[in-house]
Chain A
Amino acid sequence: MNLFNHTPILILAVPLLTAFLIPIIGKINKKTTGILATLALGLSLIMTIVLAAKVLSVGPQVYVFGEKSSLLTLPSGLKFPIRIMFQIDAMGIFMGLITALVSFLGAVYSLAFLDNKDKIDSYYSLLLLLTVSMFGMEFTGDLFNFFVFLEIASMASVSLICYRGADLGEPVEAGFKYMVVSSISALMVLFAVGIFYGEYDVLNIAAIASVVKYSQLDKIALGILVSVLAMKAGAVPMHMWTPDAYSEAPAPITMILVAASQASLYAIFRIVFSMYNITLNTLAVGWIIIILGLLSMFIGVTMAIIQKDIKRLMAYHAISQTGYMLLGVGVGLAVLANPEALKDYGITAMEGGIFHIMNHAMYKGLLFLTAGALFFRTGTRDLNKMGGLAHYMKYTTIFFIIGAAAIAGLPPFNGFASKLLIYESVYKFNPLLSIIAMVVSILTLASFVKVFHSAFLGPKLPQFKEVKEVPRSMVFAMAVLSCIIIFFGLFPDLIVKNLVHPAVMSLIEQLQYTGTVLGGM
């Protein structure tokens, strides 16, 4: 029994086992549950890094459940796979790294952040379930399995959004809204899965990719999948749940929810690139994604400027930043059928969009954590009631400056690197798109200057006399994210070459994805 071969499943199985054990252990001692969850997520993070090294050096990995060997995708001469399998290529492991890091830091931050101590075991249990379902969405090679993980993710995140809700109305309200949205989107995903199953008799993504014809039914399925997953990712016409859910959840959960909505974004990319690839009308679908991205960017940032609630403001910025990813990848999709343009600027645009996913998870997570730190000490999220907090919370102020500079795209932070990649490549595709993206970036900076001024600057206020720096575990989580932001900002080419470029190539080259399952067809 070589455990090294089982890393793809152990990444999920260890947090899952811990999630089920925590309610039992919580009956004996509630305080240990947090440490146990953190340990499980730390182990999962280490295994993800090991797996990432393996995927990036050896190639895509497959793990088949319940088979005699974990690599046996086509047992006894079958032409298509029948078992559920995990299929992890460079793009999947890229998202997996984000998930592992963000959920680990969220658990560390929660150790000191949570005040409601008697329900703490269910909190950690749900947090682990949410992490597992995100991993599942990113690793799975099976459409129906994806639906199951999507539902688990929505249920776990709804319960976590309502976590503060025993005596308050607003968290439950936000949770209800999110639950309705995510049930509809998950059910519609199931409808699309049904269409694929009725048409091709297979559920495996790679097997569907090898036979997909882009018929009328496939167009309907594509429309359903892209629109409902964009709804789950928080793109603009369907963004109404995002500000509520992000602002009412506890801060570490908000950080993980950002990564969860990016898992839905990943699913859009996976379906469009790996499943359909050049069979579809790439220019039309590419422009649809670009327009979704533009709307998200612009409406998100204009709504953010007028907000007074700090987490609500950041939530609207999350919508706006999602637009950048859709823009970059949409440009790549629009020129997918044109090899010259793809080589000239398409790949760079996609690198920018994909790199922005990781950067956004890092700096938006950091900003939500600083907002959580302000809420932890002052007990308010209203910007008009804050002021002069830089006198009391020095570390939080520094972390906030780093996060705000990164989101506004100032060098030498990571937001600058990915935004520059997007600007210069999108300019070659259509100059207007690039200009809009820059204007949005300037508006982002303006809005964060406002936050910085009203929360941190100004004279010492008498009502905050008792305020002091947040506990050590919260500072640790924020410090790790800040270090990653600065590192990515200083050496962007290292990350792009070793991590982002393989991810982009694994999306573009469909044969590589289907070949790992169907054996070089």
Chain B
Amino acid sequence: MREMSKIIRNVTNLVYGFIIIFGFYIIVHGHLTPGGGFQGGAVVASAFAAMLISYGQLNTKKFLNINIFSLLESCGLTMFIGVAFLGLGTTFFYNFLANSGSWFGNIVIPGINAGDMNTAGVLPLMNIAVGLEVFSGLGIIVLLMADGAEYTKKKEKAENDR
């Protein structure tokens, strides 16, 4: 993939940060509004895809590193299963933080209200873990597929020249 025109690059510069912030918003509000870890992570990864398309794959590699993504992915997965392990005092996946008064431990108020971030126990933690895993995983997929496309294009060109 080659670098695209200046207009596209500037628009990407403009929206890149906003897409990522919107993605993280969806991740952390997963227990209050529609959305959650996977959806937010996919939104964040779409920012990486936009960057890949507008800047080309060689330039993108200066900003996005596959090794760091793969580390983040493992961290997200380990965090998810770790939170599940912490509930092992009662049962696996037990929501030990809900209604406890500490982190994310407020009691939910019924009826129409704005929603309290500080509720739902371990669900926000798991949303964050899944979001971390999904955006890094999809980022890896996008980057590797761009690599593969580049490789096949080179091979085709070499065959045509021959």
Total contacting residues, chain B, CB less than 8 A = 21
- A64 CA to B87 CA in the complex, in Å? 13
Q: Which one, B22-30, B54-62, B91-99, B154-162, is touching chain A?
A: B91-99
Interface set, chain A 1-45, CB cutoff 8 A to B: 1, 3, 6, 9, 13, 16-17, 20-21, 23-24, 27
A66 touching B74 in the complex, CB below 8 Å, given contacts A6-B88, A17-B85? no
* Shortest beta-carbon contacts, A-B, top 9: A20-B77, A23-B74, A66-B93, A9-B92, A65-B93, A20-B78, A70-B91, A24-B74, A1-B89
Partner-A contacts on B (CB < 8 A): 67, 70-71, 73-75, 77-78, 81-82, 84-85, 87-95
Chain B positions within 8 Å of A201 at CB level: none
Q: Could you name 16 residue pairs across A and B whose Cβ atoms are closer than 8 Å? A: A1-B89, A13-B92, A20-B74, A20-B81, A23-B73, A23-B74, A24-B71, A64-B91, A65-B92, A65-B93, A66-B94, A67-B91, A68-B91, A68-B94, A69-B90, A70-B91
- A21 CA to B70 CA in the complex, in Å? 12
Chain A positions within 8 Å of B87 at CB level: 66
Q: Are B92 and A6 in contact (CB under 8 A)?
A: yes
A67 touching B74 in the complex, CB below 8 Å, given contacts A6-B88, A13-B81, A13-B84? no
Q: Are A13 and B85 in contact (CB under 8 A)?
A: yes
Q: Are A16 and B81 in contact (CB under 8 A)?
A: yes
A66 touching B77 in the complex, CB below 8 Å, given contacts A13-B85, A17-B85, A24-B71? no
Besides A13-B92, A65-B91, A67-B94, 7 new A-B residue pairs in contact (Cβ under 8 A), listed by A number? A6-B92, A24-B75, A24-B78, A63-B92, A66-B94, A68-B91, A69-B91
Q: Are A1 and B88 in contact (CB under 8 A)?
A: yes
Chain B positions within 8 Å of A13 at CB level: 81, 84-85, 92
Chain A positions within 8 Å of B95 at CB level: 66
Chain A positions within 8 Å of B81 at CB level: 13, 16-17, 20
Minimal beta-carbon separation of B71 from chain A (angstroms): 7
Contact of A17 (CB < 8 Å), options: B70, B78, B89, B91: B78
Chain B positions within 8 Å of A20 at CB level: 74, 77-78, 81
- A6 CA to B84 CA in the complex, in Å? 13
Minimal beta-carbon separation of A242 from chain B (angstroms): 29
Q: Are B91 and A23 in contact (CB under 8 A)?
A: no
Minimal beta-carbon separation of A195 from chain B (angstroms): 26
